């Protein structure tokens, strides 16, 4: 088959994405810049002057960054351990890793509400053994949202890193040790740099997922607003689609900027790709 005919195989997918994703996105963006009196950025200026909205935006960014960092530190050693297992054990451990993804975020969020609530399992245990006198106020705070999001997205970064670590040749590690590198040195100077592509992809998945997540922040955050619940409030509760569109565009722009910055960082950390 000629190459020009092979490209025709892409046509259905490209048309589908264009019609059902790109067109709606550009139409949404257009409504925020063009009104009856012409082109304007007044809506964006009002938003970035509003301390309430800026507080929501920075809270969302902080929650997303912390979730990503925790997921990396928890997922990296787990992925390294799994990648060293034999085929059967690796398949079983990956199955256990993937299994939580099959559970609804609603179910997982309600489970955490039972665990970290004021009368939940955690507080009952801590007060029972005398470590605390009064229950901890974890539920309906950014901390609760971070806990739920780490539980939600940790499997993604583990799976991504396992795929990268599987391709690291054992001979490279042996050669580094034979040249005098310690176990920690091999891990820091050989394993980590080779895992940069997986770290970048996994971090992007976790950050973007945390930044745009709705169910977990809505249930575990309560009145603590993040940008996704703020968008829902304006679109559905207040029926203010103009404001909701502006929030949606800001979410898209922030997501694209973060992905671009992480790609630049990846190139600096691993210039050879």
* Distance of alpha carbon 63 from alpha carbon 146, whole angstroms: 6
Q: pLDDT confidence of 269, banded at 50, 70, 90?
A: low
Q: How many degrees, rounded to 5, is the angle at CA 235 between CA 31 and CA 258?
A: 70
* Distance of alpha carbon 62 from alpha carbon 130, whole angstroms: 32
Total residues found in the chain within this entry: 273
First-last CA distance in the chain: 32
Q: Is the dihedral of CA 233, 235, 204, 47 positive or negative?
A: negative
Find out whether 245 and 31 touch, Cβ atoms under 8 Å: yes
Domain CATH number, residue 225: 1.10.3720.10
In a domain, 182, yes or no: yes
In a domain, 53, yes or no: yes
Number of folded domains in the chain?
Answer: 1
Q: pLDDT confidence of 153, banded at 50, 70, 90?
A: very high
Residue range(s) defining the domain that contains residue 161 = 41-269
User: Cα dist. 221→89, 147, 150, 214 in Å?
Assistant: 37, 11, 14, 10
Q: pLDDT confidence of 134, banded at 50, 70, 90?
A: confident
Q: What is the pLDDT of residue 158?
A: 92
In a domain, 124, yes or no: yes
44-83: pLDDT as tens digits: 888 888 899 999 999 999 999 999 999 999 999 899 889 8
Provide the 10 A C-beta neighbour count for residue 221. Answer: 23
In a domain, 110, yes or no: yes
Q: What is the pLDDT of residue 99?
A: 83
In a domain, 36, yes or no: no
* Distance of alpha carbon 218 from alpha carbon 229, whole angstroms: 6
In a domain, 167, yes or no: yes
209-238: pLDDT as tens digits: 999 999 999 999 988 889 999 998 888 888
In a domain, 155, yes or no: yes
In a domain, 9, yes or no: no
User: Cα dist. 158→58, 76, 95, 195 in Å?
Assistant: 27, 7, 12, 12
| pLDDT (average), residues 134-161 | 91
* Distance of alpha carbon 195 from alpha carbon 255, whole angstroms: 22
């Amino acid at each position: 088959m000629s190459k020009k005919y092979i490209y025709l195989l892409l046509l259905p997918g490209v048309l589908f994405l264009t019609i059902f994703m790109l067109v709606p996105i550009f139409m949404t963006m257009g409504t925020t810049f063009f009104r009856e009196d012409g082109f304007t950025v007044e809506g964006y200026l009002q938003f970035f002057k509003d301390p309430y909205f800026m507080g929501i935006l920075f809270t969302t960014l902080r929650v997303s960054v912390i979730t990503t960092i925790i997921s990396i530190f928890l997922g990296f050693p787990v992925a390294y351990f799994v990648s060293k297992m034999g085929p059967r054990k690796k398949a079983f451990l990956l199955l256990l890793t993937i299994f939580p993804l099959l559970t609804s975020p609603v179910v997982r969020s309600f489970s955490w509400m039972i665990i970290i609530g004021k009368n939940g399992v955690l507080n009952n245990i801590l007060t029972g053994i005398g470590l605390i006198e009064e229950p901890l106020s974890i539920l309906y705070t950014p901390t609760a949202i971070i806990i739920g999001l780490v539980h939600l997205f940790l499997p993604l970064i583990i799976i991504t890193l396992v795929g990268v670590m599987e391709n690291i040749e054992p001979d490279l590690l042996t050669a580094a040790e034979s040249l005098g590198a310690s176990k920690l040195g091999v891990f820091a100077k050989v394993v980590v740099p080779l895992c940069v592509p997986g770290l970048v992809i996994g971090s992007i998945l976790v950050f973007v997922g945390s930044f745009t997540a709705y169910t977990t922040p809505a249930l575990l955050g309560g009145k603590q607003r993040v940008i996704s619940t703020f968008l829902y409030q304006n679109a559905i509760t207040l029926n203010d689609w103009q404001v909701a569109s502006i929030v949606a565009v800001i979410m898209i722009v922030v997501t694209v900027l973060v992905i671009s910055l992480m790609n630049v960082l990846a190139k600096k950390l691993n210039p050879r790709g």
